[in-house]
Amino acid sequence: MSLITETNQQYYQGAQPFVTNGASDSFITTFNTDLIFGDWDPQATNYALNNFKLYKSPTGLPGTYDEYITTYVVNNNTITLPAIPVAGEYFVVQLTVLDGGIYGQTEAEKAYGQAVEDNYGEYEYIKLSDAINNFMVGYVGDGKLIQKAKKSDVVFFAKRSLQEFSYDTLKSVHSQELNIPASLSVILPQDYVNYVRVSWIDNLGVKRIIYPANNLTISPYSTPLQDKAGMPTQDNFGENIEGTSLTEERWKNANDSLINGNFANNIDELTEFRNAYGLNGSWNWGRQYGLDPQLSQTNGWFNMNEREGKMSFSSNLAGKLIVLEYISDGLAYDLDTKVPKIAEDALYASILYSIISTRSGQQEYLVMRLQKDRRAKLRNAKIRLSNIKLDEIVQVMRGKSKWIK
C-alpha cells in the first residue's frame, strides 16, 4: 500500500542531495517521479528530454553548485558517474521546476520544467499498476474467491473498470487553454472523449459559457461534389470526391447579431435584421419577447466537426481565449494512470465482479452478491468524490430568501 517515501526536500523542492564516500560511483534517487534521461551533454538534441539536472559542489554551500556536464548514465533511477569521485564532494539531483530551482548559477544551468509541480498532490492517487498488484495480493490465491487468475485478465478488467468510472464517477475532467484562430476551429485534444464545458475568458479572467449550436447549424460529415444532375462524382479509384462544406463557410461568415438580435446601437445591423426577418413597421415592436434562450445570448456558439476532428466556433469568437473542459477515459497513458484512493475499493469490487461473472460454472447467488457489492461501493465513491461540504451548502442556502431552521 502507498506510503510517503519522499523527504520534504524531495517533495517541495524536487531536489535530492548526495555526499560522496569515495567508494561508489552511483547515486540511487528515490523520487516518486522516475528520472527521464536523454543525454548528459547540454549541446545534444536529446538533452531536452531530461526531466532533471545534476549539480556538483566542492563544499555544498549555496551559490557553489555548477551543472555536472561530464559523461554519466541513468538506469532505473540510478545515476552512474564515469569514475568514482573523491570523498566529500556534494551532488544534487534537481527535478525540473517552473522557477528553475536554486542550484543553477545561470539561466542555462537552471532546471526549468514542471516535473516537481506534476508530483504535487500525488498522494491523493494510486497508480493503476499498483492497484493491480494490490488486487493480486488481496484477492487471488488459496482460500480466496479467486483461486487463480492471469495477471493479463486482471489488467484488462482493471482498465475496463477505470474506463467506465472515468465517464461519470471519477474526477477525470481535463482542460486546455486555447486561442480561437481565424479559421474558427481548434483540434480536439489527443485524449478527448467528450466535452464538459467550453468557455471564453474575459479581461477579468471570468469564464463566459459558450453554448452548443445544436439546431442552429451543423458540420456535415460528408461533402461529395455533385454533377449538374445532382449525382456525386467519383475519382479514378471509384471513391466520391469530397469538396468544402458550404454550410460551414456560411456559418463562419455569419453575422451573429442577425441571430441573437444584439445590435449594440448599430443602426445598419438593426435595419438588416428587420429586413431579413420581415420586422419593418412599428407594429413589430416587442416581437422578440419570449425569444429562444439558445438565440438570445452573446457568448457565441460552438459545434462539433466530426469530419475533421475539430471544434468549430461562431464568428464573434475569433481571437478569443477559451478553455475547453473535457473528459478522457483514463487510459491514454497506459498503466501509469492514476486512480483516486477514494475510489480504490470500488475498483477492486469491479475487477472481482468482472472476473467471477465471466467464468463458467459460477453460482448465481455469488455473482449477484458481487454485483450488489460493486454497485454499493461505486455509489459510495460517487458520494465521496462529489466533495460536497456543509459550509458550501450553507453558503448556497444563504443566497436564498429562506431561514434555515
pLDDT digits (tens, 9 = 90+) for 302-349: 999 888 899 999 888 999 999 999 988 777 665 557 888 889 999 999
What is the C-alpha to C-alpha distance for residues 312 and 324, in angstroms, rounded to an integer? Answer: 12
* 290 or 39, higher pLDDT: 39
Q: What is the pLDDT of residue 131?
A: 92
Q: What residues pair up with 56 in beta bridges, in sequence order?
A: 66, 91
DSSP string, 119-152: HTTGGGEEEHHHHHHHHHHHHBSTTSSBS---HH
Is the per-residue pLDDT at 60 higher than 80? yes
* 75 or 235, higher pLDDT: 75
The string of pLDDT tens digits covering residues 260-312 is 666 555 556 556 555 655 555 544 445 556 666 666 777 888 999 888 899 99
As a whole-number percent, the residues of the chain with pLDDT over 70 amount to 86
Q: What is the pLDDT of residue 25?
A: 94
| Least confident window among 20-29, 218-227, 281-290 | 281-290
Instruction: State the alpha helices, DSSP H only, in 221-294.
Output: 246-252, 257-260, 267-277
Of 314, 318, 291, which is closest to residue 217 (Cα–Cα)? 314
Q: What is the pLDDT of residue 283?
A: 42
Segment 118-122 mean pLDDT: 88
Q: What is the pLDDT of residue 223?
A: 84
Is the per-residue pLDDT at 120 higher than 70? yes
CA dihedral 301, 305, 306, 307 (to 10 degrees): 170
CB 62 within 8 A of CB 74: no
User: What average pLDDT does the chain have?
Assistant: 86
Segment 348-371 mean pLDDT: 93
User: 396 vs 197, 228, 333, 393, CA distance in Å?
Assistant: 22, 62, 38, 5
Q: Which long-range contacts (CB under 8 A, 24 or more apart) does 66-73 make?
A: 66/105, 66/109, 67/42, 67/104, 67/109, 69/40, 69/41, 69/42, 70/40, 71/40, 72/40, 73/37, 73/40
Q: What is the pLDDT of residue 290?
A: 62
* 262 or 369, higher pLDDT: 369
Q: What is the pLDDT of residue 270?
A: 57
Q: What is the pLDDT of residue 99?
A: 95
Query: Using only C-alpha atoms, what is the Rg of the chain?
Result: 30
The string of pLDDT tens digits covering residues 164-201 is 888 777 766 788 999 999 999 999 998 888 888 999 99
User: 108 vs 14, 39, 55, CA distance in Å?
Assistant: 18, 16, 13
Q: Which helix (H) or strand (E) holds 80?
A: strand 78-80
Supply the DSSP symbol for 336.
G
| Least confident window among 115-124, 233-242, 328-337, 342-351 | 328-337
| Least confident window among 1-5, 94-98, 242-246 | 1-5
Q: What is the pLDDT of residue 5?
A: 85
Segment 106-128 mean pLDDT: 91
Q: What is the pLDDT of residue 267?
A: 55
Question: Measured in Å, how far apart are the chain's first and last C-alpha atoms?
Answer: 44
